[in-house]
Amino acid sequence: MNNVKLISKKDVQEVLDMEKSIQLVEKVYEAHGRDQVLMPAKITLDTGESNDWPPYGGSYNAMPAYIGGDVDISGIKWVWGFNDNYKKGIPYIGGVIILNEARTGEILAIMDGSFITDIRTGASAGVACKYLARKDASVVGIIGAGVQGRMNARAVAQVLDLKEIRVADIRPEAARACAEELTAELGLPVRAAASNQEACEGADVIITVTIADEPLVKKEWLKKGATVLSLGSFQELDEEIPLTCDKLVVDSWAQNAHRGELLKLVHEGRITENNIHAEMPDIVVGRKTGRENDEEIICGCIIGMGSTDIGTAGQLYKEVFAGAELPAFAFRTYEK
């Protein structure tokens, strides 16, 4: 028998802030860069997100990974997103993580995966800004004032010395509420923009994190030296941005060819692996260049990697939860 720890969202929230999350995600990218990660492509169960049946407007992803080096842990995240959940007061995203001991497969923990998903996604944008944004970047435009809009703002504020954040949303009241909350929390001016154009024009960093599937950012709004990060699960940028930017960067080519901003362009054969300047892990370990001058326009498509969930959960488990008093249940792994 082994005792499987049950780790709640509150337990995770108590030990994981944005600064820590950025460190943990960067460490997972380093492991990727040293070829110490196994991460098969996500499997999607589509229950109405892009099909008519069943008509539930949602989908699930199964995201397994093994992270080697001193993290040395396996696991899987089962994560879902449902378009109409907000009408029922339920978050768009939910998820659970199973952590396995790397040598025996025994389950170590069953852990909330929703907060880890939320915070590691923001943290991935933070790591991307660290390597791709101009050093003097100070104005950020965010489109999408939901959970991820907030997480991305927190992450960018950790890595850049910001003067202003502008937030736009198809629901102006959501943009206003987000701006008000973040102004108080981050101690810098965060204002609701009246349009996507107002959020983007003149911004050093532009981030899209909506549930839309349409171009929200036009190429002509970008200034020289801009960094544009797309994190939503579908298209959010004018296709001219990934097609003509100076550097197109992804977190993982395999994952981006499966879902997200680049999917249509990949299916049409207009973007192939040859168009990708680098994957983020190669930039983090110095195998590829990040930003090289203040003029280049860099587009980053950060679709999310299961390794960042399992790596974050595994590092927290080893550092904090393995020795903590938590509810547990006995799991039968072997019987004569």
Ligand X SMILES: NC(=O)c1ccc[n+]([C@@H]2O[C@H](COP(=O)([O-])OP(=O)(O)OC[C@H]3O[C@@H](n4cnc5c(N)ncnc54)[C@H](O)[C@@H]3O)[C@@H](O)[C@H]2O)c1
Contact residues for ligand X (CB under 6 A)?
A: 81, 86, 92-93, 117, 121, 143-149, 169-171, 174, 209-212, 216, 231-233, 302-304
Nearest to 66 by CA among 306, 279, 336: 306
Place of tokens 């970047």: 137
Smallest distance from ligand X to CB 61, Å: 9
- With CB atoms as reference, the residue minimizing the distance to ligand X is 146
Residue closer to ligand X (CB basis): 278 or 301: 301
Smallest distance from ligand X to CB 79, Å: 8
Beta bridge partners of 300: 229, 249
Smallest distance from ligand X to CB 114, Å: 9
Residue closer to ligand X (CB basis): 250 or 278: 250
Instruction: Give CA–CA dist 135/126, Å, rounded.
Output: 13
Smallest distance from ligand X to CB 290, Å: 19
Smallest distance from ligand X to CB 140, Å: 16
Residue closer to ligand X (CB basis): 113 or 314: 113
Residue closer to ligand X (CB basis): 98 or 175: 175
Encoding tokens for residue 134?
């101009």
3-class state of residue 295 by DSSP: coil
For residue 147, give the H/E element and its range: helix 147-159
Residue closer to ligand X (CB basis): 71 or 192: 192
Place of tokens 């699960």: 233
Smallest distance from ligand X to CB 274, Å: 23
Is residue 252 within 8 Å of 278, Cβ to Cβ?
no
Smallest distance from ligand X to CB 158, Å: 17
Q: Taking each helix axis as running N to C, give the angle between helix 18-33 and helix 306-316, from 0 to 180 degrees, rounded to the nearest 10.
A: 120
Q: Taking each helix axis as running N to C, give the angle between helix 306-316 and helix 114-132, from 0 to 180 degrees, rounded to the nearest 10.
A: 110
Task: Let me know how many helices (H) and strands (E) the chain has, helices first.
Answer: 11, 16
Smallest distance from ligand X to CB 50, Å: 13
DSSP labels for 6-62? EE-HHHHHHH--HHHHHHHHHHHHHHHHTT-EE-PPPEEEEEBSSSSSS-S-EEEEE
Residue closer to ligand X (CB basis): 175 or 271: 175
Is residue 309 within 8 Å of 116, Cβ to Cβ?
yes
Residue closer to ligand X (CB basis): 4 or 116: 116
Residue closer to ligand X (CB basis): 170 or 188: 170
Is residue 61 within 8 Å of 49, Cβ to Cβ?
no
